[in-house]
Amino acid sequence: GESVGLHLPTLSVQEGDNSIINCAYSNSASDYFIWYKQESGKGPQFIIDIRSNMDKRQGQRVTVLLNKTVKHLSLQIAATQPGDSAVYFCAEWSGGYQKVTFGTGTKLQVIP
């Protein structure tokens, strides 16, 4: 069955440094991936997405990289700020319906 997993449960980063959060998936047929940010007491918030026909997509301070060969994607946050402290989830879209399969999440802690 399909699954989406994250390598590290917690990541501590110094303010101003770059953060890299990794995610592995098992379904080679997956064609769309999303990164979400969830702050304490809030629901997940869309950050950036990428389709399988791309290997890189950039947003504001964030970049997502997709390696279909090894079924791995990563989220890079440039110049990490205290407001980036949250749990980050990668998610796979199943297509056709509003079903999103989430990974277990990585907690990003920004050290001032």
The token pair at 76 is 């890079």
Q: How many CB atoms lie within 10 A of CB 95?
A: 10
Among 42, 53, 69, 83, binds another protein (CB under 8 A): 42
Closest by CA position to 46, among listed 10, 90, 81, 108: 90
Among 25, 30, 103, 110, binds another protein (CB under 8 A): 103
Which part of the chain contacts another protein (CB under 8 A), choosing from 21-29, 58-66, 78-86, 102-110? 102-110
Among 71, 102, 107, 109, binds another protein (CB under 8 A): 102
Among 44, 66, 80, 106, binds another protein (CB under 8 A): 44
Closest by CA position to 23, among listed 100, 104, 84: 104
The token pair at 79 is 């110049």
Tell which positions 64-83 bind another protein, by CB under 8 A: none
Site string for another protein, 10-39 (x = CB under 8 A): ---------------------xx-------
- Report the C-alpha gap between 22 and 65 in whole angstroms: 9
- Report the C-alpha gap between 63 and 48 in whole angstroms: 8
Residues that bind another protein (CB under 8 A): 31-32, 41-46, 51, 89, 91, 93, 95-105
